[in-house]
Amino acid sequence: MDNVYLDTRILDKNAIDLFGLSEELLMENAASGLEACIDRYANANSFIIIVVGSGNNGADGLALARRLIGKYNVKIYMPKEPKSELSQLQLSRLKKMNAKFIDKLFLCDIVVDCLFGSGFSGDLDLKYQELIENMNNIARLNIACDIPSGIDSIGFISSVAFRADITVSMGALKLAYFSDVAKDYIGDICEVNLGISKAMYESDSRYKLLLQSDFNPPKRKHKNTHKGDFGHCCIIAGEKEGASILSALSAFAFGSGLVSIIGDVVNLPYHIMSSHLLPKNCTSIAFGMGLGNRINKYNFDFLGEIPSVIDADMFYSADLETILNKGNVVLTPHIKEFASLLKIINFGDFSIDYIARNRVALVEEFSSKYKDVVLLLKGANTIISQNGNIYINNFGKNNLSKGGSGDVLSGMIASLLSQKYSLLDAAITASLAHSFASKMIKTSYGLEPLDLIEEIKNF
């Protein structure tokens, strides 16, 4: 896992106060990182425009220009005079090199966005909106310094933002990169060193980015085994029976030794068992998928005793407060279901737009209150939380935006719970597997739930 930060200024301050680095040295290393990124994509004939603001993000761009002049055809667009002390210093150095400034944008090979960076907040005026729109349409490659202009520290976009192909992250990863809306603007992330190792620069953060190395699939290590060694996962059927069948199939494919559907379902796959009661050897449960008008048919006395996954229609149940207080559950809502959940438990009556803008803060607050619950909030970037800690999965593809893919995920989590994974480990590993499976399906539109189930067998 990598640390992620809402604000990295304290890390910069520590580098200066504790290790004696100057702010100018940090800036020089930032410019060096930008230069290294550009060198991978440019050639001697490349025409590069660097758009600089009046603050220290602009100063990074001016320092970059100094390093690139003589290597490439470099032009600087500066809509306002520099305000910060360092940007004024960098400009004075550039003028001694006869740097070329332009008063309008042209078609170019690479445009580098050094307008605002992590200091941006509020709304863009019409002048800057037009400027950023133009920046988005002049180059074959768009590179952003720190954070694409127009995106604030929590990843919200008020009007328009720079669409980066590459975002060069200065020193550490920012939370702004991982909002759902930012996913279309960040591009690939290139993390650069500011003159001090990652281990020394960073401090521990409650926000974590999941890596491929965090994936822990249910590999069977022993040869002398039987089906009972791998748990009995039970899926409670609802009105829409296909949802429970998809969950059952994914649970079986992801390692459960036995899988049963509880309820009235006909024509089950031959390897999925059927029952009207929970079997005594049940080791995990998933319910809510396609539950519909059967929501009051079942009692949930097993909650708290058997690790469970709650999904879909259960987020509209009046029993949610009781369920959460019992704990030992993984919740898997999408944003609309999360809004219903928060309202029912009197946490707050929030609009979908408000939740989309503040989802990390709301998830963090929710999970700090319900410490025995793991919350997995689905989205373009999935957020998993427990006890106030946030884990971000940004591997998923947009082909997962299909009915049934969430049913598959619920079955996968329940499968790992049946195999004695902890709540958090089950949510993390199943979420990663779900995302990795989506990447194996090349089309952006043609994914079917059964395609995911076929892929998860191969990890």
Task: Give per-residue pLDDT as tens, 128-140.
Answer: 999 999 999 999 9
Tell me: pLDDT of 28 over 80: yes
Distances from the Cα of 374 to the Cα of 196, 383, 424, 428, angstroms: 35, 10, 6, 10
Say which range, 120-129, 323-332, 409-418, has the weakest mean pLDDT: 120-129
| Global confidence as pTM | 0.95
Say which range, 4-8, 121-125, 139-143, 321-325, has the weakest mean pLDDT: 121-125
Question: Which tens digits make up the pLDDT trace of 268-280?
Answer: 999 999 998 899 9
Can you say whether residue 105 is alpha, beta or left, with left for phi > 0 and alpha for psi between -120 and 50 degrees?
beta
Say which range, 173-177, 315-319, 381-385, has the weakest mean pLDDT: 315-319
Tell me: pLDDT of 298 over 70: no
- Of the candidates 320, 364, 355, which has an alpha carbon nearest to the alpha carbon of residue 334? 355
- List the beta bridge partners of residue 5: 174
* Overall average pLDDT of the 372-380 stretch: 97
CATH numbers and ranges of domains, the chain: 2-204 (3.40.50.10260), 213-456 (3.40.1190.20)
Tell me: pLDDT of 291 over 80: yes
* Overall average pLDDT of the 137-149 stretch: 97
Mean pLDDT of the chain: 94
Tell me: pLDDT of 295 over 70: no
What is the structure's pLDDT at 266? 86
Tell me: pLDDT of 296 over 70: no
Tell me: pLDDT of 300 over 80: no
What is the structure's pLDDT at 267? 86
* Overall average pLDDT of the 419-436 stretch: 98
Q: Please, which pLDDT band fits residue 302 given cuts at 50, 70 and 90? A: confident
What is the structure's pLDDT at 340? 97
Tell me: pLDDT of 297 over 70: no
* Overall average pLDDT of the 405-429 stretch: 98
Q: Please, which pLDDT band fits residue 78 given cuts at 50, 70 and 90? A: very high
> What are φ and ψ of residue 197, in 5° steps?
-60, 155
Tell me: pLDDT of 456 over 80: yes
First to last CA, the chain: 20
Say which range, 117-126, 267-276, 393-402, 408-417, has the weakest mean pLDDT: 117-126
* Overall average pLDDT of the 118-123 stretch: 80
What is the structure's pLDDT at 345? 96
Q: Please, which pLDDT band fits residue 299 given cuts at 50, 70 and 90? A: low
What is the structure's pLDDT at 23? 93
- Of the candidates 48, 19, 34, which has an alpha carbon nearest to the alpha carbon of residue 195? 19
- The pair of three-digit structure tokens given for residue 312, joined into one six-digit string: 């879909």
What is the structure's pLDDT at 121? 79
